[in-house]
Amino acid sequence: MSFYNDFILPRLLDFAMRNKQLLPFRKRVIGAAEGRVLEIGVGSGRNLPFYRSPAKELLALEPSPKLVAMAREAKEPAVPVNFLEASAEAIPLDDGTIDSVVTTWTLCSIPHADSALGEMRRVLRPGGKLLFAEHGLAPSKSVRWWQDRLTPAWRRIGGGCHLNRPIRSMIESAGFRIDRIETGYIPGPKPMTFVYEGSARPA
């Protein structure tokens, strides 16, 4: 790993996730989690303070050791938390053992997001739910033009982040049925700020 990826990038990601515009999304998505919860890409732990009943247990998955260390120092949630230093493309859990999977601003940066979504579906129990808030492909042709052209450089400085991933179709193609979805821009540069928020269940 490079100095940038080990020391600079984790701090940049944490800084970006402090954006107050993201707080309402966190509250809604985390507030809907229940039972045994798996969070994909816990990062520096910005979601942790929002977990409470009916969530009973949190498994916080994160592949970056530096971000795991930062998350361990974050404000503890009101539910027991166990950290899993692992990839979302190979989740170290048995089939059907999770009630809720949470992913917030994570699907953009997983190298093989289709495999990761397949793993999320595998570990969810029948009737379990995927709760998400993600940025991705915008509906405007002019914004998509910028997303496509900015993404190669953005990936290099943003930890693999893609600006142009079609979040809804990715989730549906992985075998989920969308229960609820809301989309729209939040304040900021449009190529970076088109957000998908919702929930889905294994089809």
Q: What is the pLDDT of residue 6?
A: 73
Q: What confidence score (pLDDT) does residue 61 get?
A: 98
Query: Residue 199 — pLDDT band, cuts 50, 70, 90?
Result: very high
> 70-84, 133-147, 157-171, 181-195: which has the minimum mean pLDDT?
70-84
- The pLDDT score that the predictor gives to residue 173 is 98
Residue 48: predicted pLDDT: 95
| HEC per residue, the chain | CCHHHHHHHHHHHHHHCCCHHHHHHHHHHHHCCCEEEEEECCCCCCCHHHCCCCEEEEEEECCCHHHHHHHHCCCCCCCCEEEECCCHHHCCCCCCCEEEEEEECCCCCCCCHHHHHHHHHHHEEEEEEEEEEEECCCCCHHHHHHHHHHHHHHHHHCCCCCCCCCHHHHHHHCCEEEEEEEEEECCCCHHHCEEEEEEEEEC
Q: What is the second-level CATH architecture of the domain 3-202?
A: 3-Layer(aba) Sandwich (3.40)
What pLDDT was estimated at residue 155? 94
Residue 149 confidence (pLDDT): 98
Would you say residue 65 has pLDDT above 80?
yes
What is the chain's mean pLDDT, rounded? Answer: 94
Per residue in 160-197, pLDDT (tens digit) is 999 999 999 999 999 999 999 999 999 999 999 999 99
Query: Where are the domains positioned within the chain?
Result: 3-202
Report in angstroms the alpha-carbon separations of 76 from 98, 117, 152. 21, 27, 36
Tell me: the pLDDT tens digits for 25-43? 999 999 999 999 999 999 9
* pLDDT at site 13: 80
pLDDT tops 80 at residue 4: no
